[in-house]
Amino acid sequence: CSLSLCSGLFESHSSCCQHKVCPADHYAFLLRSGAANVVGPKICFDNKIIMGGSQNNVGWGLNIVLLKGETGELLRCNYFNRYSRGLLNFLKMVQAGNIILVASYEDPTVLLTDEIREIFAGMGSTMIRSVKYRDSWVFAGAAGMNKQSLFEKLITNDEKTNAYGAWPEMGEVGGCFPRKI
């Protein structure tokens, strides 16, 4: 995406990651998946909202932010849905040490091929192979991580326990992500 899609990056929001004070060699972040097909996801990094409803730059499917690990520089952000093209190319451009932040909205599975799931697994996701239709999934990882990310949550779509009829509750994960992997 163009950086204009991520215009919220330059607007500091103290409420974005307010509960985390991180060491100097880490970044504070917060990820929230969308709620049903009504409330969009939110991706905050270093106390700035990069993607969210207030920025009007989120969409159904997967909302993804790519950052340079050592500096926190925004490299790209975009959302990918059933009509989008380019998710595989987007993920193949990720370089070792880049941080990736992902928040689902509505249905994240329409583009999750086996190859795309393997790429996310290589970035530290242990739950990507279990993501199913209309699940809520949030994930923070890094290219070249080759170990389990501590920052991932999957809430399964189950009509018996869903918070919003045909959709589960919103997933949220946050914390302090290391600058260097």
Residue range 22-29: mean pLDDT, rounded: 92
Residue 2's pLDDT band (cuts 50, 70, 90): very low
What's the pLDDT band for 65 if we cut at 50, 70, 90? very high
Res. 21 pLDDT band, cuts 50 70 90: confident
Extract long-range pairs of 82-88: CB within 8 Å, 24+ residues apart. 82/107, 82/110, 82/111, 84/111, 87/62, 87/111, 87/116, 88/113, 88/115, 88/116, 88/119
Residue 12, pLDDT above cutoff 60:
no
Q: Tokens 């193949």 — which residue?
A: 92
Identify the pLDDT of residue 180. Answer: 82
Question: How confident is the model over 41-62, as a mean pLDDT?
Answer: 91
Average pLDDT over residues 111-123: 95
